[in-house]
Structure 1
């Protein structure tokens, strides 16, 4: 079986339409039909069910199982090219999420500089969710990462660098003595980090657990802006303690009986990645924190 048959099947499963799949690959519709026929004859099983309306389909249980394997096969095919490029290039491409970078890099800067590793890194700044996706697809060699849930994929290796907690925060100027319950807290003007943030996901868990919703007056992707607004007493917010270490003018709002999610800072890389000595040294530097 060739990779092209797997690629056709994957796209056919996504588009659920023979004509659109053929147009995507710029081939004739019979090419897609014969490709599917080869797969079904090879495994002696039906992979799709055609619907009564024109040129539409759904996957059989066998087709769904096939897709699980095809996704892994095609991913590994893509990773071959990425890994060959990685081994040839001079730089180590590493994910640096902003909050974690600002917290961690000053702690290891001198060590990275002394060992010559600092100039070996090509940093990629992005959110942790986006960086994890890039790591899985081979676009990154390794990454720092912030998450509330530890990765379960067996093809990823990681080291927990720190375990922090999320906190509700306010300006030191603000009188929070009257905030005794989470309902009272969420009646305050709330400044939140945007939908793509791990913070947003953690806050959603708090909202669901305690059946509350904040009065959000402003939302931003820039955590430095969020901190500045809180310092200026424009509202309260919800953030990992990672972001507020050493930041003045901000205090924690503590509520009795309220459990907030943990925030894990990880150093993560693909299990199958074979690297040079610099990669092993980088791993050792971050493990030492």
Structure 2
């Protein structure tokens, strides 16, 4: 059985057209036709309904079952090609959310530089929700990720390194600034500065609003944490962030949230189970794990 035959079949199942498959792979149409025939001979089944026109391919039941398996093989082939393409570059494709990165990474930079790791890092900076998708899709190989629950996935290996708490962040002149804590249900009349859907914060905030039947008045959405804080400092609204997002130099007040339903914010080291870690990637994981767990 040829791997290329399986790739042709996978594309045929997707495009439903022999001509389109041949154009996609830049081969002659008989090449695709013969590939499908070889697979049928190999498995001793019909994969394509021959009563259908070549311009409108329909898979048989056996073809549909093979399609499920071939999709997995195709994804793995794509991942291998990506990894092999970067293998000689020694690049560490690393996901780093801005809040986690701003809090932990500057203090680690000199150590990573001395170990010869920093210069090999190609960081992708975005919210944890987006980075998790990039990790699963093979666009990055490992990441520090935030989550509101332990990461459980058949594709991802992860370890919780530490946790943080969500808080309401306000201007010092806000009527909430002097409170020791605030109940989430009491925020229904507040105006908010919201984060984009790339962030775990947005999902947790939305879940808490749904739980308390709140329809938040969001004045502005942004994917820039620093801009969100600046807008709060200008009294545009309040926002929902973890404690570590607020620096001692920020002219803001963090108010604890008194709500048993509020989940923690976990920080985890994660990588794809199918990814073979390089020596430098293993060293990076060890450095990050040691440093972050010691800050607990």
Instruction: Provide Cα deviations, 1:131-181, integer angstroms capped at 9, x if missing partner.
Output: 333333443342222233444334432232222232222222200279965
Q: Is residue 280 from structure 1 mapped to residue 287 from structure 2 by the alignment?
A: no
SS in 2 for 1:152: coil
Give the conservation status (yes or no) of the 8 Å contact 1:193–1:219. Answer: yes
Instruction: Provide Cα deviations, 1:42-98, integer angstroms capped at 9, x if missing partner.
Output: 445676789x9x9375885x6565444323212221232333333312432322222
Residue equivalent to 1:188 = 190
Residue equivalent to 2:239 = 237
Gaps of 5+ in 1: none
Please give the root-mean-square deviation of Cα atoms over the aligned residues, in Å: 3.6
The range that moved more, 5-14 or 36-45, is 36-45
1:119, distance to aligned residue in structure 2 (A): 2.7
Give the conservation status (yes or no) of the 8 Å contact 2:166–2:257. Answer: no
Number of residue pairs the alignment of both structures matches: 288
Gaps of 5+ in 2: none
Residue equivalent to 1:135 = 135
Residue equivalent to 2:83 = 83
Write the distance in 1 (CA, Å) between the matches of 2:65 and 2:168.
44
Give the alignment of 1:6-45 within 5 angstroms. 6-15=6-15, 24-25=24-25, 39=39, 42-43=42-43
1:201, distance to aligned residue in structure 2 (A): 2.0
SS in 1 for 2:198: coil
Write the distance in 2 (CA, Å) between the matches of 1:214 and 1:3.
52
**TM-score (structure 1 length as normaliser):** 0.79
* Counterparts in 2 of 1:181 and 1:268: CA distance versus 1, 3 Å: closer
Write the distance in 1 (CA, Å) between the matches of 2:164 and 2:13.
41
Give the conservation status (yes or no) of the 8 Å contact 1:162–1:264. Answer: yes
**TM-score (structure 2 length as normaliser):** 0.78
Write the distance in 2 (CA, Å) between the matches of 1:58 and 1:238.
50
Residue equivalent to 1:260 = 262
Residue equivalent to 1:70 = 70
